[in-house]
A and B are shown apart, each in its own frame.
Chain A
Amino acid sequence: MLIKLRLHDILKEKVGAGRADGDGILKQQLRDGSTVNDLVVSLGLNREYVGLIIVNGRQAAFEFSLNEGDSVELFSPMSGG
């Protein structure tokens, strides 16, 4: 299945270099039945780099099962501002 992925700030740099466009958006092909965690692994990202997951505009967990056409946003963790 194909999902739409948007990466933000440091994740854009970690994964996106040469792959994502300037907005950090890339299309990602995944095996059917993949979870967010599978997606994170497929990106070669260490889980501790992912602090917030949004799927189709809603906060989601690593175990969330993805579907064709889902829109996923990943953010690195922050502890306050």
Chain B
Amino acid sequence: MDKIIRVNLTSGAITSEPVAEKYRQLGGRALTSQILFDELDPACEPLGKRNKLVFAPGLLGGSFLSSSSRISVGGKSPLTGGIKEANAGGTAAGALSKLGIKALIIEGESNLEYSQYLYVDKEKMELRPADIAGLGVYSAAKLIYERYGDKVSQILIGPGGERGYSAAGITNTDVQGRPCRYMGRGGLGAVMGVKGLKAIVLNPAGAEAISYHDRKAFQELNKELVKMIRENPVTGEAYPKYGTPAMATRTNAINALPTRNFSAGSFECANRIDGEYLYHVITTRGGEGETTHACMPGCVIKCSNIYAASDGKEVVAPLEYETIGLMGSNLGIGNLDDIARLNYLCNDLGLDTIEMGATIGVAMDQGLIPFGDADAAADLLAEVAEDSILGKVLGHGALVTGRVLGSRRIPVAKGQAMPAYDPRGIKGLGVTYATSPMGADHTAGNTIRAEVDHTDPKPQPELSKNAQPMSMIADSMGLCLFIMPALGAHLDKLALIYEYYSGVKVSGEDLREAAKKALNVEREFNRRAGLSPAQDRLPEFMTDEPLPVSGSVFDVPLEELRKINEE
């Protein structure tokens, strides 16, 4: 990965630059954040021409280590007003790596009346008029495949992003060509949309930029790592069979499953939306459904799934825990068919299911539609699709919707909706929501696996503080967080496999230090963008209103939260 591609949408210029020395040992999130820090005025408007989007595979991107080709995208977020990185599995990181692209920077803003897409293959890079503009991601992706064949990888946004909705994400295609692997958080789809870019088509045919410093050693160590992944109960058994939805039984048991706009932490229908039930439904229905599925080539965990209707036809893939928590229990909906349908609608519109689940939850709480009414929820998404005034409000996410509807129970941190862990039930994650430069983000430092009482406020700051750099390590190497239960305690092995890939000698400790440095870069960006420790907190309803059953409130003291970003 020896070049950085810069696409200026104002001028239409596309240039290739060598990778500057300071970027060589950065990848994924660390790289996108460093480039934004170096190139952006942190106070710029997120939807203005001064904001940029940076796409980057991680340091291990394109390698055959399992689960190592996640794609990161960074930009200033219209939701948090701070630096943002969102990442996903899928095929784009592998394609960029094959094309030798370490980072792809999208800057400026098109003045053309039509939107465009970027086409990249090993010989050319071109902006082309997007006749797919306005289409949902499923039909847009289909047309692109018809034109370029099924070997290309696509990065694209839906109508939500094109209209600049703050709840819009950016998706990329999975191994079978579904445009369903979302870099969902932070509203970065809107940033891409207002720039006038609908899609990026990566055609890696004939491109062979991936090389190994020591392929044989890589292969040997890889064997050992695969064995560790297979023998670990989390990565070898729970994720492959039940996937992320298995989390629902756990969060429900500790009173942390968002229910009816975060007004309860357990849901009476939890056992109809959890991993075991999903497994049961998929296996009894047969047809196109699959209980285990890889989102990227070479993943040995295969945590993903394909959800089929009772006629065996695919409804959506994957159906993940976050969507189940936010569009299921959080809406009082206890039926997987309904959740899958809402998931598909959000995907097609290019919207983050976490943000939209929280948004509809707030709308239900304010009496706009009743809890539990999946048809009414689908009608709200139809408003978004039609771009009605109500649809525009909803499309801007939970905070805007809550304000318009007069809610004082808006589950956001730094303007971004909370994922499917109530911070009163898992307080360590509450610390992460409050203090991560990313806003409310479960992937920025999840403490769920720690063997502590998750409602005891005392150990939580320390847990979150240690978890945040671990997430940064995974996000920077392009690793899926789900291999971390097996490999996270073996950073030296990860460092070594990186050395065999790149030739760069680093230690596990170096990886940790680099991660802390990258977090500091993000914090400094946010400080310059005007975010302050005053925003390192959770909404007052979560510190004031006890959850029923557990009686828990979020009571990690503010001084403790502040300390995390002081050092």
Contacts and interface: CB of A to CB of B under 8 A. Distances in A.
A81 B448 CA distance: 10
Interface in A46-76: 46, 48-49, 51-52, 54, 57, 59, 61, 73, 75-76
Contact of A49 (B233, B320, B442, B443): B233
Contact of B448 (A8, A12, A57, A78): A78
B457 interface: no
Contact of A78 (B250, B276, B451, B455): B250
B453 A78 contact: no
A79 B234 contact: yes
Interface string B508-551: 00000000000000000000000000000000000000000100
A10 B233 CA distance: 9
Contacts of A57: 549
Interface string B228-265: 00000110011101101111111001100000000000
B241 A77 contact: no
A21 B307 CA distance: 27
B420 interface: yes
A79 B449 contact: yes
Interface string B187-220: 0000000000000000000000000000000000
Interface stretch (B11-19, B98-106, B477-485): B477-485
Nearest to B419: A81
A77 to B, nearest CB: 5
B446 A54 contact: no
Contact of B442 (A9, A10, A81): A81
Contact of A81 (B276, B321, B455, B549): B321
A59 B250 CA distance: 10
A9 B241 contact: yes
The 10 nearest A-B residue pairs measured at CB = A81-B321, A81-B247, A81-B244, A80-B446, A79-B449, A79-B485, A10-B237, A49-B233, A54-B253, A76-B238
Given A80-B442, A80-B443, A81-B247, A54 B254 contact: yes
B158 interface: no
Contacts of A75: 249-250, 253
A44 B270 CA distance: 28
B85 interface: no
B195 to A, nearest CB: 31
B246 A80 contact: no
Residue from A10, A48, A52, A76 whose CB has the most chain B CB atoms within 10 Å: A10
A48 B276 contact: no
Contacts of B448: 78-80
A75 B455 CA distance: 18
A9 B280 CA distance: 11
Contacts of B321: 81
Interface of B: 233-234, 237-239, 241-242, 244-250, 253-254, 275-276, 320-322, 325, 420, 442-443, 446, 448-449, 451, 453-455, 481-482, 484-485, 549
B449 A9 contact: no
A3 to B, nearest CB: 17
Contact of A77 (B233, B325, B549): B233
Interface of A: 8-10, 12, 46, 48-49, 51-52, 54, 57, 59, 61, 73, 75-81
A15 B387 CA distance: 53
B454 A59 contact: yes
A18 B446 CA distance: 35
Contacts of B241: 9-10
12 contacts: A9-B241, A10-B233, A10-B242, A48-B233, A52-B254, A54-B253, A61-B453, A73-B253, A77-B449, A78-B234, A79-B484, A81-B247
A78 B421 CA distance: 13
A14 to B, nearest CB: 9
Contacts of A79: 234, 446, 448-449, 481-482, 484-485
Contacts of B325: 81
Nearest to A62: B451
Contacts of B238: 9-10, 76-78
A73 B245 CA distance: 18
B253 to A, nearest CB: 5
B556 to A, nearest CB: 17
A55 to B, nearest CB: 11
Contacts of B455: 59
A77 B234 contact: yes
A57 to B, nearest CB: 8
Nearest to B429: A80
A24 B276 CA distance: 11
Contacts of B276: 8-9, 12
Given A8-B276, A52-B253, A76-B234, 18 more contacts: A8-B249, A9-B249, A9-B276, A10-B233, A10-B238, A10-B241, A46-B233, A49-B233, A54-B254, A75-B249, A76-B237, A77-B233, A78-B246, A79-B234, A80-B247, A80-B446, A80-B449, A81-B245
Contacts of B482: 79-80
B247 A52 contact: no
Contacts of A49: 233
Given A48-B233, A52-B254, A80-B247, A59 B453 contact: yes
Contacts of B484: 79
A49 B485 CA distance: 12
A40 B532 CA distance: 47
Residue from A12, A48, A75, A78 whose CB has the most chain B CB atoms within 10 Å: A78
